[in-house]
């Protein structure tokens, strides 16, 4: 690598992470509007405010690494390389979606991209990701799997079972808990004892609690855990503290009431992972402000085009209602 390449690499990485966060932000904002207009079939749980976690972690992954996701998973998938067009088509229930419109928000899979699925079952991705890591170990591959899950999911028994086996077998898996302070409408401290980062400690699994709104901090923690997993030294728990800006699900204001103090919400908006990163990059001369504005315009336009793409795509034929529901092959998209 030339010295120029060395010097420019961090700037390129920073730009790319910023672009990914903006892409997720604009995608999710568009979904909020579409949901209100009754244009989306099914529920959506938005990732607004948590973008730095998915982006920081996935920036540290290789293409052949895998992730498992949650009910709040659009950001994870976009960060792992999913296209907004096919994501949008899936959410509209159309054939050009990643699962031919049959998965919807909570069941999007793309094995080609290493996406083992969003998941409507809280904690459901934890054993799938642990099994994925076991598969790699058996096949002698050096890829790793990241399991994204929430603070609520950290109380599921399967998390402890999965950590146990991952520790015993030194599986190449990284457990990334997105602690956004709430499990549905209940504050985390009313449900969750102790520090989530410490939950693997009795099993010898290292854990760290990090600022999940700082994309560089997330990436640094992810790189360390991923290197460790690739070296065959086993799992790590990363607890990323963050906050969701929107409700548990869109439309919750119809029944959930005011369960989050306004000052709390404002204090996290003041720590917006995108604008704080833009400030940092502009102040340190890594990007110019108009460069950010261009990125923003491009991503906003891409999301608008994704809606057009989704609307132009047909609904699946009723004849194929029972197709692609059960696995007949071990690789490839449902398409
Ligand atoms: C096994 C199971 N139990 C309960 C639910 C209902 N449910 C959906 S999301 C959710 C809360 C999840 O909270 P957390 O893991 O913190 O994720 P967050 O929504 O905060 O991202 C619950 C209880 C479910 N989908 N699956
Ligand atoms: Mg939560």
Q: Once rounded to an integer, what is the mean pLDDT over residues 120-125?
A: 98
Structure tokens given for 204: 């010898």
278 has pLDDT over 60:
yes
pLDDT of residue 325: 82
Q: Once rounded to an integer, what is the mean pLDDT over residues 184-208?
A: 98
User: Which atom of ligand 1 has the smallest separation from the CA of 156?
Assistant: 1
- 234: nearest Cα among 307, 313, 331, 168: 168
Structure tokens given for 320: 């194929």
pLDDT of residue 326: 79
* Residue 123 alpha carbon to ligand 1 centre in Å: 8
What is the widest separation between alpha-carbon atoms in the chain?
59
* Residue 46 alpha carbon to ligand 1 centre in Å: 13
> For residue range 280-298, what is the model confidence (pLDDT) as tens digits?
999 999 999 999 999 999 9
Q: Are 149 and 76 in contact (CB under 8 A)?
A: no
Q: Once rounded to an integer, what is the mean pLDDT over residues 327-331?
A: 63
Structure tokens given for 150: 């929430």
More confident residue, 108 or 332: 108
Residue 282 lies in a domain: yes
Residue 150 lies in a domain: yes
pLDDT-derived band of residue 317, with 50, 70 and 90 as boundaries? very high
Residue 7 lies in a domain: no
> For the chain, how big is the Rg over CA atoms in Å?
19
CATH number for the domain including 182? Answer: 3.40.50.970
Phi, psi dihedrals of residue 115, rounded to the nearest 5°? -105, 110
6 has pLDDT over 60:
no
Q: Which domain holds residue 59?
A: 12-220+230-313
Neighbours of 138 (CB within 10 A): 9
User: Which atom of ligand 1 has the smallest separation from the CA of 120?
Assistant: 25
Q: Once rounded to an integer, what is the mean pLDDT over residues 238-259?
A: 96
Taking the CA atoms of residue 74, residue 77, residue 79 and residue 81 in that order, the dihedral angle to the nearest 10 degrees is: -140
335 has pLDDT over 80:
no
Distance CA 139, CA 83 (A): 29
Residue 332 lies in a domain: no
Q: Once rounded to an integer, what is the mean pLDDT over residues 255-273?
A: 96
Residue 242 lies in a domain: yes
pLDDT of residue 10: 85
Cβ neighbours of residue 58 closer than 8 Å, sequence gap 6 or more: 20, 67, 76, 79, 80, 81, 146
146: helix, strand or coil: strand
Determine whether the shortest distance from the Cβ of 180 to ligand 1 is under 6 A: yes
Phi, psi dihedrals of residue 71, rounded to the nearest 5°? -70, -20
Distance CA 127, CA 255 (A): 33
Determine whether the shortest distance from the Cβ of 118 to ligand 1 is under 6 A: no
Distance CA 174, CA 276 (A): 26
Residue having the nearest C-alpha atom to atom 5 of ligand 1: 122
Domain count, the chain: 1
* Residue of 183, 188, 245 to mutate, ligand 1, most atoms within 8 A of C-beta: 183
| pLDDT, averaged across the chain | 95
Residue 261 lies in a domain: yes
Provide the whole-model pTM.
0.95
266 has pLDDT over 90:
yes
Q: Are 206 and 236 in contact (CB under 8 A)?
A: yes
pLDDT of residue 5: 38
Determine whether the shortest distance from the Cβ of 71 to ligand 1 is under 6 A: yes
> For residue range 54-78, what is the model confidence (pLDDT) as tens digits?
999 999 999 999 999 999 999 999 9
Residue 323 lies in a domain: no
- 97: nearest Cα among 302, 324, 331: 324
User: Which atom of ligand 1 has the smallest separation from the CA of 122?
Assistant: 26
Taking the CA atoms of residue 62, residue 68, residue 71 and residue 77 in that order, the dihedral angle to the nearest 10 degrees is: 20
pLDDT of residue 332: 53
Structure tokens given for 146: 């990241």
pLDDT-derived band of residue 110, with 50, 70 and 90 as boundaries? very high
Distance CA 108, CA 254 (A): 27
19: helix, strand or coil: helix
Q: Once rounded to an integer, what is the mean pLDDT over residues 179-190?
A: 98
Distance CA 102, CA 117 (A): 13
Residue 53 lies in a domain: yes
Residues of the chain with pLDDT > 70, as a percent, come to: 95
Residue having the nearest C-alpha atom to atom 18 of ligand 1: 150
172 has pLDDT over 90:
yes
Distance CA 4, CA 6 (A): 5
């Amino acid at each position: 690598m030339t010295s120029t390449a060395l010097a420019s690499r961090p700037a390129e990485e920073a730009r790319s992470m910023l672009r990914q966060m903006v892409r997720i932000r604009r995608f999710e904002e568009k979904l909020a509007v579409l949901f209100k207009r009754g244009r989306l079939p099914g529920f959506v749980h938005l990732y607004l405010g948590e973008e730095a976690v998915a982006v920081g972690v996935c920036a540290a992954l290789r293409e052949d690494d895998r992730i498992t996701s949650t009910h709040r998973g659009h950001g994870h998938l976009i960060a792992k390389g999913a296209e907004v067009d096919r994501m949008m088509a899936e959410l509209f229930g159309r054939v050009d979606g990643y699962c031919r419109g049959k998965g919807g928000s909570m069941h999007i899979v793309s094995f080609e991209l290493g996406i083992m699925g969003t998941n409507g079952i809280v904690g459901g991705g934890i054993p799938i990701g642990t099994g994925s890591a076991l598969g790699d170990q058996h096949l002698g591959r050096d890829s790793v799997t990241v399991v994204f899950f929430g603070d609520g999911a950290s109380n599921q028994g399967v998390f402890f079972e999965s950590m146990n086996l991952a520790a015993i077998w030194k599986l190449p898996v990284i457990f990334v808990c997105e602690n956004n302070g709430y499990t549905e409408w209940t504050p985390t401290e009313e449900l969750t004892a102790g520090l989530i980062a410490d939950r693997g400690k009795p099993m010898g699994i290292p854990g760290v609690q990090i600022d999940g709104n700082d994309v560089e901090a997330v990436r640094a923690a992810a790189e360390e855990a991923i290197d460790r997993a690739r070296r065959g030294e086993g799992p790590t728990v990363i607890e990323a503290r963050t906050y969701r800006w929107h409700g548990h699900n869109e439309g919750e204001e119809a029944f959930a009431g005011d369960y989050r103090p306004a000052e709390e919400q404002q204090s996290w908006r003041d720590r917006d992972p995108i604008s704080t990163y833009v400030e940092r990059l502009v102040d340190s001369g890594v990007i110019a402000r108009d460069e950010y504005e261009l990125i923003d315009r491009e991503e906003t336009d891409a999301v608008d085009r994704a809606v057009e793409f989704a609307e132009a795509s047909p609904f699946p034929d009723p004849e194929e209602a029972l197709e692609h529901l059960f696995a007949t092959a071990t690789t490839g998209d449902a398409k």
